């Protein structure tokens, strides 16, 4: 018996999307029910019931397009889930409402002025819904007839018979159409669409009824149903683009390629004005809808006085998005001034906002969050270990505890165990210092460090000499 040599067929590669695990990658929404009541643990959110409910109300208003040009401030201590709530809002809004997320310090760039960066962020958060409409002919090819002239050169003529489940018709073909039919290799039994305006032919697949025509077909052959109804259809597609995208395309200097390179530079205000009036015109004519989106500025206390006054002005514009800000500061100096103000935000701007407060997590909630994070990082943990970690997070911080999960998971793997035990967490705890222990350590042995400033009365001198 002859052995058949195993022939290796070209490997079918599978691409799986690799997603990095981020701090908030476990959040899929705000975790509210239909009546906007927060569920204790849902969609990756834990606790913060009143804050989530408040966010849900804001979200509902955004969805209905009722509010624009409003500002919401999420305030709370570090590690109480401010960014998580904003992320949850973004997830719950879906793809059709623009959501821009930026950190307060992102506006400080050498290439762009602060106001330009802010304006761009604002315009990224306003969507324009536009419809595109095309007439297409869609049907199953019954027959293709091509007459070649006897001389071999010159124009070809032909006939194409198309059918749907309801009708059948014959089209006369010109030279161009014949060429594109040949190029697409359309033959009887294929389901094709022809764009009426451009004459572009695209093959959708083969009709199911013709599935038995050949004994062997390639793996790429797709089988589709014979289309129903009319042959000549109208296809409508709505797109949501942001004002910023339209800006970039129309700013003459670079053209739309700048969209992909990301380097847009400054956009002239005349261009913006033109686009505003054009979009306004479209809206009047019923050609476009404005979709006010959401701009989220994290660490908003990093903005300075000029930015705040710009925000004040920008919120009054009739095409302003909903502005959501987050800060973890209490009463502190407004950046760039010597005045103190709550959250580091000037009082006049603060007056325009509604404020959502987040509370520190309780032990039970901490445990739940740690559990969710374990799942997110594919780490298994014993009940005891989880308890120890929860206690740790109470003593140190939630972020520190979350970071320990990854480390402890690696240590457990090294021991060749699948589950993280208490000893792994202990090991991780001794390997990496948390903030309080680090401070303590520094206080204990500070004399041995360089440039120790503790006994000097003023730090200015050291700054100047260094």
Partner 1 sequence: MDLEKTQQLILQTEAAAHKIFVTRDELVALDFKRQKTREAFRALKNDTLPGEKAWMTLSIGNIFVKTRASKAQNLLEREMKEIDQEISDGRNKLKEQVKHLRDLEGKPELKGFDLKPITNEAEVIMQALFK
Per-residue CA distances from 68 to 91, 249, 295, 414 (Å)? 19, 25, 11, 53
Query: Rounded to whole angstroms, how far apart are CA atoms 321 and 124?
Result: 9
Q: How many residues appear in the chain? A: 466
Smallest separation (angstroms) from partner 1 to the CB of 153:
22
We find the least distance from the C-beta atom of residue 241 to partner 1, in angstroms, to be 6
Phi-psi category of residue 430: left, alpha or beta, with phi > 0 → left and psi -120 to 50 → alpha: alpha
Return the number of the residue (218 or 286) whose C-beta is nearest partner 1: 286
Nearer to partner 1, 187 or 232 (CB): 232
Residue closer to partner 1 (CB basis): 167 or 442? 167
- Tell me whether residue 211 or residue 257 sits nearer to partner 1 (CB atom): 257
The token duo for 6 is: 């195993």
222 Cβ neighbours under 8 A, 6+ residues apart: 204, 205, 206
Helices (H), 315-382: 347-352, 363-376
Report the nearest approach of partner 1 to the CB of residue 442 (Å): 53
Cα–Cα nearest to 137, from 175, 180, 168, 158: 168
The residue among 170 and 211 lying less far from partner 1, judged by its C-beta, is 170
At closest approach, how far in Å is the CB of 405 from partner 1?
41
Contacts of 405 (CB under 8 A, 6+ apart): 370, 373, 374, 377, 379, 381, 389, 420
CB burial of residue 338 (10 Å; 0-12, 13-18, 19+): exposed
Q: Measured from the CB of residue 242, what is the shortest distance to partner 1 in angstroms?
A: 10
Nearer to partner 1, 41 or 226 (CB): 226
Please report how close the Cβ of residue 106 comes to partner 1 at its closest, in angstroms. Answer: 24
Distance separating alpha carbons of residues 43 and 29, to the nearest angstrom: 5
String of DSSP letters for 156-186: -EEEEEEE-SS-EEEEEE-HHHHHHHHHHT-
Q: Which of 63, 148 has the CB closer to partner 1?
A: 63
Please give the residue ranges that form the binding site for partner 1 (CB under 8 A): 96, 129-133, 166-167, 169-170, 172, 229-232, 234, 236, 238-239, 241, 245-246, 249-250, 256, 259, 282, 285-289
Judged by beta carbon, residue 146 or residue 418, the one nearer partner 1 is 146
Query: Least distance from C-beta 246 to partner 1, angstroms?
Result: 6
Nearer to partner 1, 152 or 286 (CB): 286
Q: Closest separation between CB of residue 288 and partner 1, Å?
A: 7
What minimum distance in Å lies between the beta carbon of 222 and partner 1? 22
Q: How far apart are CA 289 and CA 275, in angstroms?
A: 14
- Nearest distance, CB of residue 282 and partner 1, angstroms: 7
**Phi and psi at residue 257, in whole multiples of 5°?**
-60, -25
Q: With respect to partner 1, which residue has the nearer C-beta, 257 or 354?
A: 257
Using only C-alpha atoms, the chain has a radius of gyration, in whole angstroms, of 31
In the complex, minimum distance from the CB of residue 437 to partner 1, in angstroms, rounded to a whole number: 52
Tokens in use for 40? 């204790």
C-beta separation of 324 from 296 below 8 A: yes
Q: How many CA atoms lie within 13 A of 15 on its CB side?
A: 1
Burial of 431 per CB tally in 10 Å (0-12, 13-18, 19+): exposed
Report the residue number, 30 or 275, with the smaller CB distance to partner 1: 275
Residue 390 token pair: 């929860």
CA-to-CA separations, 69 to 150, 324, 410, 423, 457, in angstroms, rounded: 71, 10, 47, 53, 49
């Amino acid at each position: 018996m002859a052995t058949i040599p195993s022939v290796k067929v070209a490997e079918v590669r599978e691409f799986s999307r690799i997603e990095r695990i981020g701090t908030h990658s476990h959040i899929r929404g705000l975790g509210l029910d239909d009546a906007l009541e927060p569920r204790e643990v849902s969609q990756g959110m834990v606790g913060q019931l009143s804050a989530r409910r408040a966010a849900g109300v804001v979200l509902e208003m955004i969805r209905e397009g009722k509010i624009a040009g409003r500002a919401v401030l999420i305030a709370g201590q570090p590690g109480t889930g401010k960014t998580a709530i904003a992320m949850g809002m973004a997830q719950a809004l879906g793809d059709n409402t623009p959501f821009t997320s930026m950190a307060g310090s992102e506006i400080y760039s050498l290439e762009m002025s602060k106001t330009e960066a802010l304006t761009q962020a604002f315009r990224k958060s306003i969507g324009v819904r536009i419809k595109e409409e095309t007439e297409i002919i869609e049907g199953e090819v019954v027959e293709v007839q091509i007459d070649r002239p006897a001389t071999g050169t010159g124009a070809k003529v032909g006939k194409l018979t198309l059918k749907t489940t309801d009708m059948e018709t014959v089209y006369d073909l010109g030279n161009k159409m014949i060429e594109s039919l040949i190029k697409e290799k359309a033959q009887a039994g294929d389901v094709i669409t022809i764009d009426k305006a451009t004459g572009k032919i695209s093959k959708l697949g083969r009709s199911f009824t013709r599935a038995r025509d050949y004994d062997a077909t390639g793996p790429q052959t797709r089988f589709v149903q014979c289309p129903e109804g009319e042959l000549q259809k109208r296809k409508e597609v709505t797109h949501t683009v942001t004002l910023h995208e339209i800006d970039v395309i129309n700013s003459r200097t670079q053209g739309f390629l700048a969209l992909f390179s990301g380097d847009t530079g400054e956009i002239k205000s005349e261009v913006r004005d033109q686009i505003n009036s054009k979009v306004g015109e479209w809206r009047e004519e019923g050609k476009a809808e404005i979709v006010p989106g959401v701009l989220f500025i994290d660490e908003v206390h990093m903005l300075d006085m000029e930015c705040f006054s710009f925000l004040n002005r920008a919120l009054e514009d009739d095409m302003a998005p909903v502005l959501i800000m987050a800060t973890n500061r209490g009463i502190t100096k407004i950046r760039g001034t010597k005045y103190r103000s709550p959250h580091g935000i000037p009082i006049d701007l603060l007056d325009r906002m509604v404020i959502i407060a987040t509370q520190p997590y309780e032990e039970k909630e901490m445990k739940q969050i740690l559990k969710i994070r374990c799942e997110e990082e594919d780490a298994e943990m014993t009940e005891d270990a989880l308890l120890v970690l929860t206690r740790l997070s109470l003593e140190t911080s939630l972020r520190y505890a979350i970071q320990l999960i990854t480390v402890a998971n690696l240590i457990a793997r090294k021991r060749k165990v699948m589950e993280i035990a208490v000893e792994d967490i202990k090991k991780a705890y001794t390997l990496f210092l948390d903030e309080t222990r680090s401070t303590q350590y520094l206080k204990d042995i500070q004399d041995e460090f360089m440039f120790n400033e503790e006994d000097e009365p003023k730090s200015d001198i050291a700054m100047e000499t260094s």
